Amino acid sequence: MRAVRERDAYANLVLPGLLRERRVEGRDAAFATELAYGACRSLGVLDAVIGDCAGRGVDEIDGPLLDVLRLGVYQLLRTRVGAHAAVDTSVELVRAEFGSGKAGFVNAVLRRAGERTPEEWVERLAPRDPLGHLAFEYAHPKWIAQAFADALGARADELRDLLAADDTRPEVHLVARPGDITAAELALVTGGEVGPWSPYAVHLEGGDPGKLEPVRAGMAAVQDEGSQLVALSLTRAPLHGPDTGRWLDLCAGPGGKTALLGALADIDGYRVDAVEPAEHRAELVRKATDGLPVTVHVTDGRASGLTPGYDRILVDAPCTGLGALRRRPEARWRRTPADVRDLTLLQRELLTAAWDLLRPGGVVVYSTCSPHLPETVAVVGDLVRRTDAEQLDTRALLPGVTDLGGGPAAQLWPHRHGTDAMFAAALRKPV
């Protein structure tokens, strides 16, 4: 919690290393994970309750005390931990680090927080308007709830289900590397279940996937099933003319989709070029694709210098990440509407660059882990208006996957599919 607050660290990157370093395992590790991720995910609600109980804004409370208060209030309102235990452990933690005076303050705040049920706190503190109320209840900034409602369109009545799904701990999704292990074999080895949509997906309830032998051996990796479907849609898209085996991942870091594309390309003797501008992320791509026919280029995708003529190009563009908030617990409180403008400009430039690198008859798939309309249909619509791009029905590239929206693009949702809210649109260049 301190790393997230002080250094803007990512909880899902910091915590696993800390658990290994402190040798916290089993149920203790699961509980620590629930506390850390849950408190980060619920930050807006927790801070509103703390501020009300303390009679001052959280910006006036010492940071280290705020970390403890957030963990304590999270236990009181969002876990089955007994109120007495939640208060006592929090107070003892503060007393050990900062002395009795500050421990008394934490004790008073937590006891006030425990005097109301979660529902009573929502009723007391949530905005009166329906959207604001719903956003507060499920721990989302209002602007994100509005963006989701806009993307749901005529089915905006699903917003409560979507926010609820986005506010729960997600399952761990694994991808079985094609050619090395099947999803059925991976499920058997790991004790997981085969995923419903991707032929390579396995779902686990929890645990540290880094300890699983197939993951350690490079036969499997952690990857949301929605991301797998995006990569698969590129390989299934119908081309005009033969596939010459020149594939490109224009936004490759950290390498999950690149690795799946590389494994599928390897089966047919094809090759994948992967572009990533940051060296440290390019190294992650190299590690993820070790042993596969993938060449990593450390360059800007908008001016890559690569030779045009690719059959298939994936543009998994940098985005707000609003569709993956379940897996990045603190992200919802860091993003602002102001982030969108610069990102949409970058997204349009990357898609245009991909279009220029595509051969006639080739296909580019544009994807984001955000359902936000300015980042999805607006970016695709801009290219279609400026070029002769032919929009394919992306839903047809995901056979068996239901309820993907009105088309021609495909939109996945946590509450409908159990995946991140991935968007994908396939565009073919006329011959």
CA atoms within 13 A on the CB side of 132: 6
Of 391, 419, 392, 390, the closest CA to residue 403 belongs to 419
Catalytic residue among 40, 53, 319, 369: 369
Binding-site annotation: residue ranges for S-adenosyl-L-methionine: 251-257, 276, 300, 316
CB 264 within 8 A of CB 235: yes
Q: What is the pairing mode between strands 246-249 and 193-194?
A: unpaired
Rounded-to-10 torsion of CA 145, 146, 147, 153: 110
Binding-site annotation: residue ranges: 251-257, 276, 300, 316
**Catalytic residue at 53?**
no
Pair of tokens at residue 346: 């970058």
* Residues 110, 262: Cα–Cα separation, whole Å: 52
Q: What is the pairing mode between strands 358-368 and 423-428?
A: antiparallel
Q: With the C-alpha atoms ordered 113, 116, 117, 122, is the resulting torsion angle positive or negative?
A: negative
| Eight-class DSSP state of 303 | G
Ordered strands of the 220-222 beta sheet: 193-194, 201-204, 172-176, 220-222
Number of helices (H) and strands (E), helices first, in the chain? 19, 12
Contacts of residues 74-81 at CB distance under 8 Å and 24 or more positions apart, as own/partner, are: 74/35, 74/38, 74/39, 74/42, 74/46, 75/35, 76/110, 76/113, 76/114, 77/45, 77/46, 77/49, 77/113, 77/118, 77/121, 78/38, 78/42, 78/118, 79/34, 79/35, 79/38
* Residues 22, 4: Cα–Cα separation, whole Å: 18
* Residues 36, 32: Cα–Cα separation, whole Å: 6
Terminal alpha carbon distance of the chain: 54
Annotated catalytic sites, by residue?
A: 369
